[in-house]
């Protein structure tokens, strides 16, 4: 049934819809369990704060629904973080799809000579590297994407893309039918459009 976007209280939905239009795609925005389960692909976007987003998802049963989806699912920014096991943002238990924790940028673990002057949140363009997934077919190593975030997913066995900002963290994750990107593909120009196309057509 095509492409669906999860409708909830932390979705940056309009910008995702515009990005899909630019590549000639349309999506239905919904919190209807039957529609989400029947979609060919699901996008789980997000901007905002983790604990209130998780409360909203749990109150509507969307937490169990998302975890139980069998088709490819793409989490974006907060959406990816909510798919991890835990977030330091207000001590939040998340969906537990990716076996990694989300931590605050605060200089801990910063690599030598980097980190003391970090501006938090990270806002702007940064490169992605060590790309390991069909999600990145045709995307050159060290391509630049657009980030807005104060928390990051630690490196794990699910990491399929990395970015360095004081320390090296997971800018993309993959496990089973679930994918996540910390950056905003809908704001990342041609690179972001290619990643969205790859998700829709290639994974």
Burial 12-43 (b: 16+ CB within 10 A, else e): bbeebbebbeeeebebebebeeebbeebebbb
CB 4 within 8 A of CB 41: yes
Residue 107 burial class via C-beta count within 10 angstroms: exposed 0-12, middle 13-18, buried 19 and up:
middle
Rounded CA gap, 92 and 168, in Å? 22
Is 77 an active-site residue? yes
Is 186 an active-site residue? yes
Catalytic residue among 77, 84, 94, 145: 77
Structure tokens at 18: 């515009």
Among the listed residues 167, 135, 136, 175, the one whose alpha carbon sits nearest the alpha carbon of residue 151: 167
Is 149 an active-site residue? no
Give the end-to-end CA distance of the chain in Å, rounded to a whole number.
Answer: 16
Rounded CA gap, 166 and 163, in Å? 10
Rounded CA gap, 119 and 101, in Å? 21
Catalytic residue among 94, 99, 184, 193: 184
Catalytic residue among 145, 149, 174, 186: 186
As annotated, the active-site residues are 77, 184, 186
């Amino acid at each position: 049934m095509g492409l669906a976007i999860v409708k909830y209280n932390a979705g940056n939905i309009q910008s995702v819809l515009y990005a899909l239009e630019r590549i000639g795609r349309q999506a239905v925005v919904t919190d209807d369990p039957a529609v989400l389960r029947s979609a060919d692909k699901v996008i789980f976007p997000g901007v905002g704060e983790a604990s209130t987003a998780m409360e909203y998802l749990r109150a509507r049963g969307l937490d169990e629904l998302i975890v139980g989806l069998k088709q490819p699912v793409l989490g974006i920014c907060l959406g990816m973080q909510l798919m991890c096991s835990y977030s330091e943002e207000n001590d939040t238990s998340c969906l537990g799809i990716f076996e990694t924790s989300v931590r605050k940028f605060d200089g801990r673990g910063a690599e030598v000579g980097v980190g003391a002057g970090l501006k938090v949140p990270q806002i702007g363009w940064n490169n992605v590297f060590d790309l390991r997934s069909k999600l990145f077919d045709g995307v050159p190593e060290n391509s630049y994407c657009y980030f807005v975030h104060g928390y990051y997913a630690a490196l794990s066995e699910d990491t399929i893309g990395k970015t360095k900002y004081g320390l090296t963290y997971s800018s993309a994750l993959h496990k089973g039918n679930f994918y996540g990107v910390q950056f905003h593909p809908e704001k990342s120009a041609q690179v972001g459009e290619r990643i969205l196309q790859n998700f829709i057509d290639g994974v």
